[in-house]
């Protein structure tokens, strides 16, 4: 199986490629090659028993996708995107990468499909986002809630979803769109993203560092670990397309908890000392942004189709400790 990953240098892309290297197969089929694309080279992939190539390239470059698809990868994991904050600031760049770039990829696959007389019909896994939804929300948000993006990123991802479903319906490829919940605990350093605190208040105390909590403990949100996100992609790569039906874009499951419940889970797993490192410092700007975010998703279809997230926030904390801290808590 030949695999192509766009956005391979991103956090989820890297973890997905590492998982491929570890497993050596997708759904029982051995991986024979992996081509990694990102605007910066994705770097080494130690331990892979298959051919690995890495290329620094931009999907907004119209010439790229036809060249990539000429190799006819069996699985295309399309994660490359301009993230929400940047797409909001740089309107042209967001549309160029998230809408046009996605269209170039889909069009290039279609061209190969037509050239092959319909034989070439790869699985495409597309990373969408809960940003396709916009407030006000019902609680929980059902699978058939309308798409009302309130950001350019959300609008671009929503267009990607429709193209994915349409190209799939026409038989050019076999697409699955995944609306990822917020990824928590996000590894790495604290960053400026408005959503950063969801991870910061867990990740930092677990290594003996202070963390700022800028919102009330009543704030509710849905989370899944990086490990769950990689499992979503792997499941989407192997699931029977017939079972999905025409609605190819799925809200992924996650753990819906309040910040207070997050903190309680941290206390149970890592003790009161960890919790004492969380400093409450309300930030009105962040409180306002977060008030427009979705809280809980039913994700009934995804669950019925076998997509599995953690079942409690304690599991999320434990997964972070296992995957990022070598099983060890403390500074």
Q: Which two tokens stand for residue 62?
A: 């119209």
3-state secondary structure of 229: helix
Rounded Cα distance, 127 and 234, in Å:
12
Quick one: 38 or 161, whose CB is closer to its own copies?
161
Q: Which two tokens stand for residue 68?
A: 């990539």
Task: Among 46, 47, 144, 327, indicate the residue that binds its own copies (CB under 8 A).
Answer: 144
State which of positions 85-124 bind its own copies (CB under 8 A). 91
Quick one: 150 or 287, whose CB is closer to its own copies?
150
Task: Among 3, 8, 42, 163, indicate the residue that binds its own copies (CB under 8 A).
Answer: 163
The 237-256 contact track toward its own copies, x by CB under 8 A, reads: ---------xx---------
Q: For residue 275, count CB atoms less than 10 angstroms from its CB and return exposed for 0-12, middle for 13-18, buried for 19 or more.
A: middle
Task: Among 36, 165, 184, 229, indicate the residue that binds its own copies (CB under 8 A).
Answer: 165
Counting contacts by CB under 8 A, is residue 162 touching its own copies? Answer: yes
Task: Among 18, 58, 148, 300, indicate the residue that binds its own copies (CB under 8 A).
Answer: 148
Rounded Cα distance, 255 and 25, in Å:
28
Quick one: 106 or 197, whose CB is closer to its own copies?
106
Q: Least Å distance between CB 314 and its own copies?
A: 33
Active site residue 95: no
Q: Residue 38 belongs to what H/E stretch?
A: strand 33-38
Please answer whether residues 8 and 38 qualify as being in contact, where contact means their C-beta atoms are separated by less than 8 angstroms.
yes
Q: Least Å distance between CB 153 and its own copies?
A: 10
Q: For residue 300, count CB atoms less than 10 angstroms from its CB and return exposed for 0-12, middle for 13-18, buried for 19 or more.
A: middle
User: Could you tell me the sign of the dihedral formed by the alpha carbons of 226, 232, 235, 238, in that order?
Assistant: negative
Give the interface segment with its own copies, choosing from 61-69, 161-169, 200-208, 297-305 (CB under 8 A): 161-169
Instruction: Tell which phi-psi region holds residue 225, choosing left (phi > 0), alpha (psi between -120 and 50) or beta.
Output: beta
Q: Least Å distance between CB 110 and its own copies?
A: 8
Closest CA to 256 of 193, 303, 289, 187: 303
The 53-92 contact track toward its own copies, x by CB under 8 A, reads: --------------------------------------x-
Please answer whether residues 176 and 248 qualify as being in contact, where contact means their C-beta atoms are separated by less than 8 angstroms.
yes
* Residues noted as catalytic: 153
Per CB under 8 A, residues contacting its own copies are: 91, 134, 138, 143-150, 152, 155, 158-159, 162-163, 165-166, 169-170, 246-247
């Amino acid at each position: 199986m030949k695999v192509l990953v766009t956005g391979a240098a991103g956090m989820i892309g890297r973890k997905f490629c590492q998982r491929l290297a570890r497993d050596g197969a997708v759904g029982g089929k051995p991986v024979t090659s992996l081509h990694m694309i990102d605007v910066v080279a994705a770097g080494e992939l130690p331990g892979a028993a298959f051919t690995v190539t890495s290329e620094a390239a931009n999907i907004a470059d119209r010439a790229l996708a036809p060249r990539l698809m000429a190799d006819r990868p069996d699985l295309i994991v399309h994660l490359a995107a301009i993230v929400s904050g940047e797409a909001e600031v740089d309107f042209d760049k967001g549309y160029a990468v998230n809408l046009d770039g996605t269209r170039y990829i889909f069009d290039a696959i279609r061209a190969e499909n037509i050239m092959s007389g319909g034989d070439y019909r790869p699985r495409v896994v597309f990373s969408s986002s809960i940003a396709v939804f916009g407030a006000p929300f019902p609680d929980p948000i059902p699978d058939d809630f309308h798409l009302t993006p309130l950001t350019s990123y959300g609008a671009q991802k929503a267009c990607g979803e429709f193209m994915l479903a349409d190209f799939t319906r026409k038989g050019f490829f076999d697409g699955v769109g995944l609306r990822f919940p917020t990824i928590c605990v996000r590894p790495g350093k604290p960053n400026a993203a408005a959503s950063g605190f969801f991870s910061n208040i867990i990740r930092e105390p677990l290594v003996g560092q202070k963390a700022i909590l800028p919102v009330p403990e009543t704030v509710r949100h849905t989370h899944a670990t990086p490990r769950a996100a990689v499992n979503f992609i792997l499941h989407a790569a192997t699931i029977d397309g017939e079972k999905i039906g025409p609605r190819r874009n799925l809200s992924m499951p996650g753990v819906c908890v309040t910040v207070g419940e997050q903190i309680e889970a941290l206390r149970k797993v890592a003790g009161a000392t960890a919790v004492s490192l969380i400093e409450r410092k309300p930030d009105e700007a962040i409180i306002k942004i977060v008030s427009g975010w979705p809280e809980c998703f039913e994700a009934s279809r995804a669950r019925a189709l076998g997509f599995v997230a953690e079942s409690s926030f304690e599991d999320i904390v434990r997964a972070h400790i296992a995957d990022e801290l070598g099983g060890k808590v403390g500074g």
